[in-house]
């Protein structure tokens, strides 16, 4: 079972207002939604998050906090949320008072731990949202980042910070043949810095970042005393891994980019891709020279083979022209453009009838 991104959410004071005087909602007349909660939760659901309520309900089931009133409020709240296609996966409740010394009252984590045992959670990409310090402590104790609602940090701001963050990845790859550190930001500004020890290869990688709009920093120390093969291959593997990591579950991406034709003087390159998680390369192109700078031209095709293998991308490339330099450079520029188009966020769902990519 795949670990799911999960939003743990407090109820009173977070989803619905909590009366200042009583600190408890005692009737439907007192139930009002917090500002921005519906639009924010719609965004989280569209982004693939599971929603789980974690609530401390003092003396639940006693005359001071009758369960019937509590359930009536929940039913009304859930009905309104459902009208906006917002559904919750679970409601975790502690019915005890603070003086009872139970293990389930926030900030203690029994409720969360028990849920995670039966519902695998992607802790790295899950969050806790509440209105009290105990909610924040609960999330931290559970091992997830937490947000506390305030006048300055509302639902819109929290959703923006979580969902609009740049898609980034860092890959560190060390073998006996190469030592690579690579940083990628798909939502960058085209700022690049490549240092592989092969200047023409660096030039091509810089084209990838510049024309794709990606921030890309690559440092590779390879066994160039043997030859260039390991440096080019392992850089491509690290780059492919970075793209796959940065894309995450690929929700909302365009996925396809086709017939991207790019010319550079005599050279013409056509590339189409499908970010399908089914790696496959079709490469049609020949080079008259053995080297471009100090990069063997036979490694151009191998670079793309390694990249698609690590990234899970299906790619078709056709190269025409006379000048070897132009053909290879145009190929990397076209490669950048199709990637730029295919990774764009243009929707909210996974572009596949399977539901996953």
User: Could you tell me which residues are annotated as the binding site for Zn(2+)?
Assistant: 94, 96, 102, 104
User: Taking a C-beta distance cutoff of 8 angstroms, is the pair 218, 205 a contact?
Assistant: yes
Radius of gyration for the chain, computed over Cα atoms and rounded to the nearest angstrom: 26
Annotated active-site residue in 10, 202, 234, 274: 10
Residues 270-303 as b/e (b if ≥16 CB within 10 A, e otherwise) read bbbbbbbbebebebebebeeeebeebbbebbbbb
On the 0-12 / 13-18 / 19+ scale of CB atoms within 10 A, 343 is buried
Is position 341 annotated as part of the catalytic site? Answer: no
**Taking CA 180 as the corner, what is the angle to CA 176 and CA 185, rounded to the nearest 5 degrees?**
155
- Could you list the residues known to form a binding site, using ranges: 10, 12, 94, 96, 102, 104, 131
CA 146 to chain centre: 18
Side-chain half-sphere CA neighbours of 59 within 13 A: 9
Is 10 a catalytic site residue? yes
Strand duo 215-222 + 178-185: pairing:
antiparallel
Q: Which residues are annotated as a binding site for Mg(2+)?
A: 10, 12, 131
Phi, psi of 25 (to 5 degrees): -90, 120
**DSSP single-letter state for residue 252:** T
Helix (H, G, I), strand (E, B) or coil at 283: strand
**What's the CA gap between 123 and 237, in Å, rounded?**
26
Which DSSP category does 104 fall into?
S
* Among the listed residues 243, 218, 234, 224, the one whose alpha carbon sits nearest the alpha carbon of residue 336: 243
Cα–Cα distance, 160 to 263 (Å, whole number): 39
Q: Is 40 exposed, middle or buried (0-12, 13-18, 19+ CB in 10 A)?
A: buried
Residues with a known catalytic role: 10, 12
């Amino acid at each position: 079972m795949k670990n799911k991104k999960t939003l743990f959410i407090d109820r009173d004071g977070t989803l619905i207002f909590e009366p200042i005087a009583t600190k408890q909602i005692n009737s439907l007349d007192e139930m009002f939604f917090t500002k921005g909660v519906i639009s924010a939760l719609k965004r989280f659901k569209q982004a693939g998050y599971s929603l789980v309520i974690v609530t401390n309900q003092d003396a639940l089931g006693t005359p001071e906090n009758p369960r019937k009133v509590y359930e009536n409020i929940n039913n009304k709240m859930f009905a309104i949320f459902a009208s906006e296609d917002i559904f919750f996966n679970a409601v975790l409740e502690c019915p005890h008072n603070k003086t009872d010394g139970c293990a389930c009252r926030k900030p203690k984590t029994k409720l969360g731990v028990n849920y995670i045992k039966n519902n695998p959670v992607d802790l790295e990409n899950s969050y806790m949202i509440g209105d009290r310090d105990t909610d924040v402590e609960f999330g931290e104790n559970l091992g997830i980042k937490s947000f506390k609602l305030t006048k300055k940090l509302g639902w819109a701001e929290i959703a923006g910070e979580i969902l609009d963050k740049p898609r980034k990845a860092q890959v560190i790859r060390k073998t006996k043949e190469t030592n690579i550190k690579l940083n990628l930001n798909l939502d960058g500004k085209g700022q690049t810095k490549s240092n592989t020890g092969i200047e023409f290869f660096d030039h091509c990688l810089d084209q990838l970042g510049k024309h794709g709009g990606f921030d890309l920093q690559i440092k590779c120390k390879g066994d160039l005393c043997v030859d260039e093969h390991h440096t080019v291959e392992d850089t491509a593997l690290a780059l492919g891994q970075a793209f796959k990591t940065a894309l995450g579950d690929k929700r909302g991406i365009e996925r396809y980019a086709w017939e991207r034709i790019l010319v550079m003087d005599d050279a013409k390159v056509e590339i189409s891709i499908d970010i399908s998680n089914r790696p496959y390369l079709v490469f049609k192109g020949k080079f008259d020279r053995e080297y471009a700078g100090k990069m063997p031209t036979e490694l151009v095709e191998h670079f793309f083979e390694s990249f698609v293998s690590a990234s899970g991308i299906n790619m078709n490339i056709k190269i025409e022209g006379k000048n070897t330099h132009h053909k290879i450079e145009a190929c990397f520029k076209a490669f950048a453009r199709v990637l730029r188009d295919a990774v764009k966020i243009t929707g909210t769902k996974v572009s596949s009838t399977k539901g996953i990519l």
